[in-house]
Amino acid sequence: MSTISLAPIATLSPQLATSVWPLGRGAKAAEEFEAHLIGSMLESMEKTFATLPGQDMPGADNYNYLGTQALSEALAAKGGFGIAAMISRHLPAHEGKG
């Protein structure tokens, strides 16, 4: 099985490479939101493209879910699509409001 390097993801845009470390509560929530969004997209793509007729294995859904969750969290931690970074940039302007 080949491994996938996540290093090229952060080089897609300079904005993706910048992140808030250590993460505050808002930035952490933004990263978790992006991870959930990426995970839902990956899960949908997997259900569409990864199943072969007659290849059902017991417990495969659980392993697929865990793998998708781990991948989406890793992608979001490395910058993902930049959604968390965009949200984090706008959080300070809205702190204390609400």
**For residue range 13-58, what is the model confidence (pLDDT) as tens digits?**
444 444 434 568 888 999 999 999 999 999 988 888 776 676 777 8
Cβ pair 30, 84 in contact under 8 A: yes
Residue of higher predicted confidence among 6 and 94: 94
The answer to whether residue 24 is domain-embedded is yes
Q: What is the mean pLDDT of the chain?
A: 77
Domain count, the chain: 1
The answer to whether residue 61 is domain-embedded is yes
The answer to whether residue 38 is domain-embedded is yes
The answer to whether residue 63 is domain-embedded is yes
The answer to whether residue 4 is domain-embedded is no
Whether the model clears a pTM of 0.95, i.e. scores above it, the answer is no
Q: Which residue in 7, 64, 14, 60 sits closest to 39, CA to CA? A: 64
Query: Under 8 Å CB-to-CB from 87, ≥6 apart: which residues?
Result: 26, 30, 33, 34
The answer to whether residue 98 is domain-embedded is no
The answer to whether residue 86 is domain-embedded is yes
Structural domain range at position 75: 20-50+57-92
